Amino acid sequence: MYLKHLKDCREFIAGDGSTLRELLHPEKTELQIHYSLAHAKVPPGKMTKPHKLKSCEVYYIITGQGMMHIDEKAFEVGSECAVHIPPNSTQYIENTGNSDLIFLCIVDPPWRIEDEEIFDH
């Protein structure tokens, strides 16, 4: 069994500009997992920088509302929805609400800095 509390995870600004706390990563735990899990936050009126990952990613929106952009498509997202982001897709999310947009990021295979490309707006 493994238990980790969000409050015990170091908060940092990710390359895309979101505030992240990494909950699970196979290189930082003894768990035999093939994905990483992070908690992300984007303040009202802000958006992440466009970026792409070599890995597949899923966002699960916990609270807030926003506009998800994947390649040329854009659609509204809100609490209790999941978004699948295919590998090598240009993506970003913008917070269109009045409170923090909070979501989980599941990356498979696990996130690695060398697998991410950040673009300027």
Q: Using one digit for the tens of pLDDT, what is the confidence trace for 29-88?
A: 889 999 999 999 999 999 999 999 999 999 999 999 999 999 999 999 999 999 999 999
Q: Report DSSP state, residue 27.
A: T
Q: Report DSSP state, residue 107.
A: E
Q: What is the Cα–Cα distance from 103 to 14, expressed in whole angstroms?
A: 14
User: Could you tell me the two tokens for 25?
Assistant: 């990563």
Largest pairwise CA distance in the chain: 42
The domain 14-107: what is its CATH number?
A: 2.60.120.10
CA–CA distance from 116 to each of 22, 94, 107 (Å)?
Answer: 16, 19, 11
What is the residue extent of each domain of the chain?
14-107
User: Could you tell me the two tokens for 79?
Assistant: 């609490």
**Model's pTM, two decimal places?**
0.94
